[in-house]
Chain A
Amino acid sequence: MNEDLILLLYIVPMLIGTLLMTSAGTSLGTALSSRYPGLIHRRRRHMLGLNIVTLVGFAISVHTLWITNKISEGGSVCSSATVFSCDDVLGNASYNVDPIFGVSWGLIGMFAFGTLLFLANTVAKEPDARWAERYMKFGFYLTAGGLLVIGLLVSYEIEMEKICQYCTTAHVANVVAMFGFWQAGKMHENGEWKDEESSA
Chain B
Amino acid sequence: MKQNTEADVRTDTAVKITALFFIAIIFLAFTTDPIKTGTKEGERAPPLEGMMYNGSGWTEFKMDNYIADNWTVGDANAEWLVIEFMDTDCGFCFDDADEFGEIADYFMKISRESDGTPAWNGPTVNFIASATQLDLPNHETSRTEIISFRDKNGDEECANGRPCQSRGGDAHNFIYLDDIDQDNMKEWKVPGTPSYFIVQPDGIVAWVHSEHPQEKVSDGLFRLFDEQGLMPNE
Whether B14 pairs with A65 at a CB distance below 8 angstroms is: no
Whether B17 pairs with A93 at a CB distance below 8 angstroms is: no
> Contacting chain B: which of A32-40, A114-122, A170-178?
A114-122
Docked CA distance A69–B33 (Å):
7
Contacts of B74 on A, CB cut-off 8 Å?
A: none
Q: Identify the closest chain A residue to B37 (Cβ).
A: A93
Contact bitstring A57-86, B, C-beta under 8 A = 1, else 0 = 010001001101110111110000000000
Whether A62 pairs with B24 at a CB distance below 8 angstroms is: yes
Whether B35 pairs with A118 at a CB distance below 8 angstroms is: no
Whether A69 pairs with B34 at a CB distance below 8 angstroms is: yes
Contacts of A163 on B, CB cut-off 8 Å?
A: none
Whether B10 pairs with A122 at a CB distance below 8 angstroms is: yes
B6 within 8 A of A: yes
Take A73-B35, A94-B47, A129-B6 as given contacts and tell me if A62 and B28 are in contact as well, using a CB distance cutoff of 8 Å.
yes
Dominant secondary structure at the A interface: helix
Number of residues on chain B facing chain A (CB within 8 A):
28
Contacts of B35 on A, CB cut-off 8 Å?
A: 72-74
Contacts of B21 on A, CB cut-off 8 Å?
A: 110, 114
Docked CA distance A121–B16 (Å):
10
Taking the closest CB of chain A, its distance from the CB of B83, in whole angstroms, is: 16
Whether B17 pairs with A73 at a CB distance below 8 angstroms is: no
B69 within 8 A of A: yes
Q: Identify the closest chain B residue to A111 (Cβ).
A: B21
B32 within 8 A of A: yes
> Would you list which residues of chain A between 77 and 113 have a CB under 8 Å from chain B?
92-94, 110
Whether B187 pairs with A69 at a CB distance below 8 angstroms is: no
Whether A121 pairs with B46 at a CB distance below 8 angstroms is: no
Contacts of B44 on A, CB cut-off 8 Å?
A: 72, 74, 93
Whether B69 pairs with A74 at a CB distance below 8 angstroms is: yes
B9 within 8 A of A: yes
Whether A126 pairs with B37 at a CB distance below 8 angstroms is: no
Whether B6 pairs with A131 at a CB distance below 8 angstroms is: yes
B20 within 8 A of A: yes
Contacts of B17 on A, CB cut-off 8 Å?
A: 114, 117-118, 121
Contact bitstring B99-117, A, C-beta under 8 A = 1, else 0 = 0000000000000000000
A125 within 8 A of B: yes
B203 within 8 A of A: yes
Whether B34 pairs with A118 at a CB distance below 8 angstroms is: no
Docked CA distance A65–B29 (Å):
11
Take A122-B9, A129-B6 as given contacts and tell me if A75 and B24 are in contact as well, using a CB distance cutoff of 8 Å.
no
> Nearest 7 pairs between A and B by C-beta?
A69-B32, A93-B37, A69-B34, A74-B69, A72-B34, A126-B9, A62-B24
